[in-house]
């Protein structure tokens, strides 16, 4: 494994579109999911409005999770409709930026939901639980970048204790 660069890790926004004749820019980070197997690294939309991490069902298959077996299942509002989502505990890896080594990452355990039907442009959406609760995340449309920093960075920057 290559030496891990220090935080913060900064990623450029990616184009998503066109929408109504214009290019839309999105905060995107590279995420790898792992369980019994390791999936290919996928681009994930950082979605502060999503409570959960959600991933395309083909990624569950890629990491060896059988969604037909009993998993926690709930109905979630996604894209204006309610869809059934099955959740599994998996390993998530945030891949380091600008490193040509797939073995340079930050890793944690989290709950990932796999909807029965997948429509988003990106194969993974990272939200509040199992992503935004792991890091201090700064998104800037002005700078067109998203920065991932240590959890305590928010406290150090603003003098607010996590969980207060």
> Domain coordinates of the chain in residue numbers?
1-6+29-133, 136-164
Whether the pLDDT of residue 131 is over 90: the answer is yes
More confident residue, 5 or 69: 5
Is this prediction's pTM over 0.85? yes
Judge whether 28 and 95 are in contact, CB under 8 Å: no
Both structure tokens of 32: 């790898």
Whether the pLDDT of residue 70 is over 90: the answer is no
Q: What is the mean pLDDT of the chain?
A: 91
Dihedral of alpha carbons 38, 42, 45, 50, sign: negative
pLDDT tens-digit series, residues 85-100: 999 999 999 999 988 8
Q: Does domain 1-6+29-133 have CATH number 3.10.20.10?
A: no
Question: 3-state DSSP: the chain helix, strand, coil percent, rounded to 5?
Answer: 10, 45, 45
Whether the pLDDT of residue 143 is over 60: the answer is yes
Whether the pLDDT of residue 19 is over 80: the answer is no
With tokens 């990932």, the residue in question is 112
Determine the Cα–Cα distance for residues 70 and 25; give it in Å rounded to an integer: 37
Question: How far is Cα of residue 25 from the mean position of the Cα atoms in its chain?
Answer: 16
3-state secondary structure of 163: coil
């Amino acid at each position: 494994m290559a030496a891990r660069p220090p935080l913060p890790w900064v990623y450029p926004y990616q184009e998503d579109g066109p929408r109504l004749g214009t290019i839309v820019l999105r905060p995107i980070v590279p995420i790898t999911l792992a369980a019994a197997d390791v999936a290919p690294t996928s681009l994930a939309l950082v979605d502060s409005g999503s409570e959960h991490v959600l991933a395309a069902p083909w990624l569950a298959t890629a990491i060896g999770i059988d969604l037909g077996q009993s998993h926690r299942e709930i109905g979630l509002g996604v894209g204006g409709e309610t869809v059934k989502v099955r959740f599994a505990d998996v390993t998530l890896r945030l891949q380091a930026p600008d490193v040509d080594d797939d073995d340079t990452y930050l890793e944690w355990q989290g709950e990932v939901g796999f909807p029965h039907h997948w429509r988003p442009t990106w194969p993974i959406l990272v939200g509040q639980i199992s992503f935004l609760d792991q890091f201090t995340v700064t998104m800037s449309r002005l700078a067109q970048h998203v920065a991932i920093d240590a959890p305590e960075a928010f406290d150090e920057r603003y003098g607010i204790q996590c969980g207060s």
